[in-house]
Amino acid sequence: MTSTRKNSSNPNPDYHHHRDSSPENQTVETDPIDPHSPFQHQVEPMTNSPSIYQGRRRKAAVVLSMIWGGTITLHLVSWGSWFIFGLTGLISIHSLRILFTRYRHPSSDQTATGDRDYWPFVSLLVAAKNEESVIHNLVENLCNLDYPSDSYEVWIIDDHSTDNTPLLLDQLAEKFEQLNVLHRQNGVGGKSGALNQVLPLTQGEFIGVFDADAQVSPNLLQQVVPLFDSDQIGAVQVRKAISNAPLNFWTQSQAAEMALDSFFQEQRIALGGIGELRGNGQFVRRDAIEACGGWNEETITDDLDLTIRLHLNDWDIEFLAFPPVYEEGVTKSISLWHQRNRWAEGGYQRYLDYWKPLLRNRLGSRKTFDLFGFLIIQYLVPTAAVPDCLMSLALRRLPITSPLSLLALTLSFVGMFIGLRRTQTPQKASQTRSVSQSIMTVLQAGLQSLRGTFYMLHWFIVISSTAIRVSVRPKRLKWVKTVHQGM
């Protein structure tokens, strides 16, 4: 690999041992596994045995057989409907607790920025492959943050790009003092491999990870860093927003989907449930990521996998709603299909991999109940849709999982509506409006929520097809890149 690294003066004495003494703009050839590299401190090996990532197809086939067999059985026994009603009632109670839990904006009560004497060093990482259309804007944005310039660094990992990305990065490295560039030659391990390879070169107490199309507000680090004042916080996820939302139906719907995700993130965390990482705009405490063994190169969704491992290691994940990180929404149905299939498969993988500690309640009762409640709604109900529909046609009655499906759609609409209302900027929310303006805003949010809930039906198809595919077809790990247009 080729590493282009420049010195910067870091006033934080705790991190002097991470720095190198290479002259400015020096290009260094290092081996990614060389323990004698002057830049590297070693990341502890993963705490989980590699064997837990084996046999996913077999485990997926067992789970699929249980879900399909159980669904068919519920149609045939007299108490099947009562079982579903009881399960729906149980999840409804948890859902009501989520809906009515009082949330708080961390940005309003924890992130006063003007009276801090110490700003910890932060390393911002981006794995970029063929990103010539967006890389310049990304670097300009990240290298001009309103944060002490000697207290943060930017690392862009050129992950074996074949376009002009490497050339552009080398040119930008001459312009921006904070920018460091790592050129990977093999691309092994996908995004996780790129992040693991650069981690020993970084200095930060906190590690921020962004996608190449990310755009953030200048004050983002000032808002994120104070959330780590609690030693229990292992990671912070920044709310994601769609930069090209007005473009078409798909991007508008993704904007509503991000508002829905934001709502449930805030409510679940406030209730003591699971906070989740979303890849773009995630910040992780160095101690936490090293305790977890780095990013998992045996999964196709590093963020979802790391979410589970952090919680299993007794860390909490916080969520920051303002300011958001903007990213491009996919603009075509085929691109959405590929992206969501990857997300669905990665979501399944984490349950298949970590089912033993999850069943042993390693997360604690609150987090375990919250996780399995969303597992039922997000994965089990869509997976049961195929046999459920076939049996309902054969027996000429409604699908037996209809109460759970109706609950899922209701939660989607309500969560999306509240999320859209919340994600208005604080300035707009505080503006004095006439009654007619307020009514119009509510109607717009309602229509957006209806459209977004209809759009969310695609998850039933994605999840059910993914469950079948991973159960019957062997699959090598494949990281499918989302193409960015530079909008």
Two tokens, residue 414: 């309500």
Q: Are residues 192 and 240 in the same domain?
A: yes
**Overall size of the chain counted in residues:** 487
Distance, in Å, from the CA atom of 258 to the CA atom of 455, rounded to the nearest integer, reads 12
The answer to whether 223 and 325 are in contact (CB under 8 A) is: no
Last residue of a domain, one of 313, 331, 349: 331
Distance, in Å, from the CA atom of 252 to the CA atom of 388, rounded to the nearest integer, reads 31
**What stretches of 49-201 show up as alpha helix (H) in DSSP?**
56-76, 80-100, 106-109, 135-142, 165-175, 190-198
Domain assignment of residue 9, yes or no: no
Domain assignment of residue 97, yes or no: yes
Domain assignment of residue 209, yes or no: yes
Parallel, antiparallel, or unpaired: how do β-strands 215-216 and 233-242 relate? Answer: unpaired
Parallel, antiparallel, or unpaired: how do β-strands 215-216 and 316-327 relate? Answer: antiparallel
State the DSSP code for 149: G
Domain assignment of residue 138, yes or no: yes
Q: Are residues 164 and 93 in the same domain?
A: no
Q: Are residues 75 and 157 in the same domain?
A: no
Distance, in Å, from the CA atom of 175 to the CA atom of 179, rounded to the nearest integer, reads 8
Q: Are residues 90 and 131 in the same domain?
A: no
The answer to whether 104 and 136 are in contact (CB under 8 A) is: no
Cα separations (Å) of 457 from 25, 39, 244, 257, 326? 51, 48, 22, 12, 24
Two tokens, residue 80: 């099947």
Q: Are residues 97 and 123 in the same domain?
A: no
Structural domain range at position 67: 56-103+365-426+435-472
Domain assignment of residue 457, yes or no: yes
Tell me what pLDDT residue 103 has: 80
| Contacts of 120 by beta carbon, 8 Å cutoff, 6+ apart | 12, 151, 204, 205, 206, 225, 228
Domain assignment of residue 75, yes or no: yes
Two tokens, residue 137: 């804007």
Q: Are residues 450 and 418 in the same domain?
A: yes
State the DSSP code for 361: T
Domain assignment of residue 13, yes or no: no
Tell me what pLDDT residue 33 has: 40
Tell me what pLDDT residue 27 has: 34
Residue 323, preceding peptide bond in cis (omega within 30° of 0): yes
| Contacts of 350 by beta carbon, 8 Å cutoff, 6+ apart | 299, 301, 304, 305, 307, 308
Q: Which amino acid is at 347?
A: G
Q: Are residues 172 and 206 in the same domain?
A: yes
The answer to whether 320 and 236 are in contact (CB under 8 A) is: yes
DSSP sequence for 97-112: HHHHSPP--HHHHT--
The answer to whether 88 and 403 are in contact (CB under 8 A) is: yes
State the DSSP code for 85: H
The answer to whether 325 and 281 are in contact (CB under 8 A) is: yes
Last residue of a domain, one of 281, 306, 331: 331
Q: Are residues 147 and 98 in the same domain?
A: no
Q: Which amino acid is at 475?
A: K
Q: What is the CATH number of the domain that holds 227?
A: 3.90.550.10
Q: Going residue by residue through the chain (487 aa), what tens digit of pLDDT does each one get? A: 566 655 444 444 443 333 343 334 333 333 444 434 433 334 443 456 677 888 899 999 999 999 999 999 999 999 999 999 999 999 999 999 999 998 876 544 444 455 678 899 999 999 999 999 999 999 999 999 999 999 999 999 999 899 999 999 999 999 999 999 999 988 788 899 999 999 999 999 999 999 999 999 999 999 999 999 999 999 999 999 999 999 999 999 999 999 999 999 999 999 999 999 999 999 999 999 999 999 999 999 999 999 999 999 999 999 999 999 999 999 999 999 999 999 999 999 999 999 999 999 999 999 999 999 999 999 999 999 999 999 999 999 999 999 999 999 999 999 999 999 998 755 455 556 678 878 888 999 999 999 999 999 999 999 999 999 999 986 655 555 677 777 6
Q: Are residues 65 and 143 in the same domain?
A: no
Distance, in Å, from the CA atom of 367 to the CA atom of 116, rounded to the nearest integer, reads 33
Two tokens, residue 297: 């190169």
Distance, in Å, from the CA atom of 443 to the CA atom of 136, rounded to the nearest integer, reads 39
DSSP sequence for 204-245: -SEEEEE-TT-EE-TTHHHHHGGGGGSTTEEEEEEEEEETTT
Place of tokens 């579903």: 84
319: exposed, middle or buried (C-beta count within 10 Å: 0-12, 13-18, 19+)?
buried
Q: Which amino acid is at 59?
A: K
Domain assignment of residue 321, yes or no: yes
Structural domains in the chain (count): 2
Tell me what pLDDT residue 425 has: 57
Q: Are residues 446 and 398 in the same domain?
A: yes
The answer to whether 458 and 409 are in contact (CB under 8 A) is: no
Q: Are residues 81 and 201 in the same domain?
A: no
Cross-strand partners of 290:
none
Q: Are residues 305 and 371 in the same domain?
A: no
Tell me what pLDDT residue 109 has: 46
Instruction: Of 240, 213, 255, give the one whose Cα is nearest residue 321.
Output: 240
175: exposed, middle or buried (C-beta count within 10 Å: 0-12, 13-18, 19+)?
exposed
**Distance between first and last Cα of the chain:** 31
State the DSSP code for 443: H
